[in-house]
Structure 1
Amino acid sequence: MLDKAVAILRAVAHEPATLADLVERAALPRATAHRLAVALEGHRLLRRTPAGAWAPGPALAELSHGSVDLAQVAGRHLVALRDASGESAQFYVREGGSRVCVAAAERTSGLRDTVPVGARLPMTAGSAAHALLAFAPAEEVTPLLPSASFTARTLLDVRRRGWAHSVAEREAGVASLSAPVRDPAGAVLGAVSISGPVERLGRRPSPEVVGAVLETAAAIARAAS
């Protein structure tokens, strides 16, 4: 199976590949090629282009010697976001059907929402899930919607405005605000997020807080490119 996974990675090394391309280049059955490509995408070794083809994912670059450590880069920017917003800040990456917190900057005092580094949360609730799924192919999103706390319209709104907001989706009394971090080709590398009590963050986030989250997402994207 490892040899087949490597064949898939080699098949996209020089140019993006559709499923039909993977079948031809890797000489694999269609079902096998699709299963492996989805698994590799879940580990961020592959990514989807805006056209839906598979291409090398950000984890390949992160594993290379001397490459940018996305979690480390995000962590530095989260400290500034926490200080600017007054709320706990996190950075999530998608791993299959879950999102994993790989960096965080916690509010140092008062009531706060704590998400430890390494926490694995579902892709069916919370603004970070919205941000991670908003630009994903429909075949990845549709199976999640029946059990999700949001709708396809929610994701359309995220694509339109560039940020996501949720209230009490993941945990009662907690609100969050997130934005996708995208590479130059448009692939989503992760999602930057702030979270805190609804009473403080609000049911409608202020333009200043939205701006701070968007600026942080853009800064992480620049540093990672």
Structure 2
Amino acid sequence: MNNTSGVGVLDKAVWVLAAVESGPATLAQLVSATGLARPTTHRIAVALEHHRLLARDVQGRFVLGPRIAELASAAGEDRLLAFAQPVLVQLRDLTGESAQLYRRQGDVRVCVAAAERASGLRDTVPVGAALPMTAGSAAQVLLAWEEGERMHRGLRGAKFTAATLASVRRRGWAASAAEREPGVASVSAPVRGAGGKVLAAISVSGPIERLTRSPGRLHAGAVVAAGDKVSDLLRTEASAGSLSAPGTNNT
């Protein structure tokens, strides 16, 4: 190893984590990959397992632990919000309607960012509000690209159908009128991560008297463009990060 920080125990822990990045590894394989002594490797691997940074598969091999995914999710959330907030403001100003960003959390969708219309009749969704996954254009977007069984489970009790979600996938946006709440209409589009996975739904919402019962005709283009802009920012950052990441020499 030659990629050292000067903090020996931390460097060794990182080497062990890097050794399982490509897949499960036995203790012997960790020793071979890191060049560390077997007792040292075992001690570090067990400590990382205690902190859930490593786990064991059914064969007893070391694999990346659940804490890695939790940290990655938190980091992704921070980047998503940082990129989305100015885009939400632009979307609000362009459409004249309140704009929101939703992420799915189990059986609900949570408003994680918003830009409210300054005055007049508006649909106010506070940041942190949990809304059902069974109604509304944002729910449609967050469910439309789910895997088959997960999508079908989500349709139970929903006010929209599988045919609705097929239309959402085909055109790339969703619209609803009085579906979640009487008198409220909305348009939503997906925000995608580097791998194309739908991370969030970006939306505008407001009274039907302004958005009409066909709100997509008014605002689908703007909402899709906003979703694409946030997606592009996330992909660009991910690409830049992969290009600038230092290589690891395991020889």
The bucket for the TM-score relative to the shorter chain is: 0.7 to 0.9
**Number of equivalent positions:** 182
Change (3 A) 1:26 1:96: farther
Q: What is the rounded CA distance, in whole Å, between the counterparts of 1:206 and 1:161 in structure 2?
A: 11
Q: 1:150 and 2:160 equivalent?
A: yes
The residue that corresponds to 1:113 in the other structure is 123
Which amino acid letter does the alignment assign opposite residue 149 of structure 1?
Answer: K
Q: Name the counterpart of 1:27.
A: 57
In structure 1, which of residues 186, 189, 194 is the aligned counterpart of residue 196 of structure 2? 186
- From 109, 131, 136, give the equivalent of 2:141: 131
1:85 alignment partner in structure 2: 95
Match of 2:111 in 1: 101
> Which of 60, 73, 95 is matched with 1:59 structurally?
73
Q: Which has the larger radius of gyration?
A: 2
**C-alpha deviation, 1:86, in angstroms:** 0.8
Residue 52 of structure 1: aligned partner: none
Higher deviation after alignment, 116-125 or 135-144: 135-144
Q: Aligned partners of 1:28 and 1:89: how far apart in 2? A: 46
**Change in CA separation of 1:186 and 1:112 when aligned onto 2, cut-off 3 Å:** same
Q: TM-score, normalised by structure 2?
A: 0.65
Give the direction of change, closer, same or farther, for the CA distance of 1:69–1:115 in structure 2 (3 Å limit).
same
- Partner amino acid, structure 2, of 1:168: A
More off after superposition, 212-221 vs 136-145? 136-145
Counterparts of 2:218 and 2:22, CA distance in 1? 42
Worse overlay, 70-79 or 190-199: 70-79
Q: Deviations over 1:86-113 (max 9, x none)?
A: 1000000111111110100000111000
Q: Tell me if structure 2 keeps the 8 A contact 1:81–1:212.
A: yes
TM-score, reference length from structure 1 = 0.72
Q: Distance in 1 between matches of 2:96 and 2:180?
A: 20
Identity of aligned residues (%): 53
Q: Which 5+ residue runs of structure 2 have no aligned equivalent?
A: 1-17, 24-54, 60-65, 236-251
Q: Partner residue of 1:198?
A: 208
Structure 1, residues 29-69: CA drift from partner, whole Å, max 9, x if none?
9xxxxxxxxxx7xxxx48xxxxxxxxxx9615437xxxx52
Distance in 2 (CA, whole Å) between partners of 1:206 and 1:99 is 21
Distance 1:60-1:104 versus aligned 2 partners, 3 A rule: closer
Secondary structure of the equivalent of 1:82? helix
What is the CA distance between 1:144 and its match in structure 2?
2.4
Structure 1: distance between partners of 2:145 and 2:56: 27
Change (3 A) 1:146 1:212: same
AA paired with 1:83? D
Asked if the contact 1:82–1:106 (Cα under 8 Å) also holds between the matched residues in 2, the reply is yes
